[in-house]
Amino acid sequence: MEREPCRYQSEKRADRRTYRRTYRLGRACPLTPAVRASILKTGVPKMDGGENRTEMTAARAGKIHAVPYRCGRLRGLCVPEYRSFDLTVIPWNDLRTRSDPMHQLVKASRTRCVVRLNYTPEGQPTRVVYAKRVLVRDLRKRLGSLFTPSKAKHEWQAAHRLLALGIETARPVVCAELRTGPWHYANFLVTEALADARPLAKDLQDLGGGEARVGRLVQLAGWLWTVHRRGFYHDDCSAQHVFVRTELPSRPTFAFIDLDNCRFHRATVPWSRRVKNLFQLLRSLPASSASRAERECFVRAYLESSGEMNRYDAAVAALHRLACAKESEIHL
């Protein structure tokens, strides 16, 4: 008697290939019906299974309602209240040479430009938003964009997935691309500003020394372990990319920005990458923001949160190796 092929296994392999080709965010995951429905509806994969992929998390991911975005030759996705946002009126190139009262140039390089402006969504109060443009000038990157998402699309997906995991980040509201046929020339991302938040380095400097700063570093260590335990890894985890909101001083809220380079793991982030994030934070903090004793307290607090205090010497040795390789100081 001829054995009937397993239908579930064949569908699982097909779904995995489709997911890797179209929505590649870190490691691929099997596409269950719930995940497939979420992608078709919002463009954001909805995870299920595991400690942090509960039904509540999946429901939060499903609340993202994205609609098609069109502005001139730009095509993409947006949240409904931002469908009238016009990316073409922003003077991307002129801001380098002259000032504009409506637009403030935040960052500019050969291929990237970030602009700060005010916008009034449909039926909502005026908000501060950041618009980012990334030019694709390299032929190799244009060829690569045929198989992988653009930087804006990757950040759009990563931010919504991060919010679904319960980790604060700037909410993305518009994601668009400029293409001519299959060729990709530019991509755009608009995010809302984090209200009442400030960079981590400035927050530590304002606290001064003593118990207040040590307490904030201990809270930061606990939050970072929670992020790693939920499987998120930020490839540039510097103090400039971590913001703090202190509505309740005893319970501050930390948030990530600039998710251009990030990874999602199906389990806890590996040890080597977690140590690298600790190194990036320590390196980016000025010597005036944290003393050596406070930095040691930060590392110990992280290892206590993760239950790895027996690896303190190994962590310090790894941090010093990274500092030597990068020719930088961590003041530890």
CA distance 182 to 315: 46
What is the pLDDT, as a whole number, of residue 326?
92
Each domain of the chain, given as residue ranges in start order, spans 9-64, 66-193, 197-326
CA distance between the termini of the chain:
69
Q: Which two tokens stand for residue 152?
A: 């804006």
CA-atom Rg of the chain in angstroms: 22
Q: Given strand 172-180, what is the order of strands in its sheet?
A: 67-71, 74-78, 172-180, 183-192, 127-135, 112-119, 104-108
What is the pLDDT, as a whole number, of residue 145?
84
State whether residue 37 is helix, strand or coil: helix
Summarize pLDDT for 249-288 with one digit per residue, the tens.
778 999 999 998 899 999 999 999 999 999 999 999 998 8
In CATH terms, 66-193 corresponds, of 3.30.750, 3.30.200, 3.40.50, 1.10.8, to: 3.30.200
Sign of torsion over alpha carbons 3, 7, 12, 14: positive
Exposed e or buried b per residue across 232-246, where buried means at least 16 C-beta atoms within 10 angstroms of its C-beta: bbbeebbbebbbbbb
Closest CA to 134 of 149, 117, 118: 149
Q: What is the CATH number assigned to the segment(s) 197-326?
A: 1.10.510.10
CA distance 231 to 257: 17
3-class SS shares of the chain: helix, strand, coil, % to 5: 40, 20, 35
Which stretches in the chain have pLDDT values below 50?
1-12, 14-15, 18-32, 35-36, 38-62
CA distance 18 to 22: 6
What is the pLDDT, as a whole number, of residue 54?
40
85's CB contacts (< 8 A; 6+ apart) are 69, 71, 78, 119, 173, 174, 190
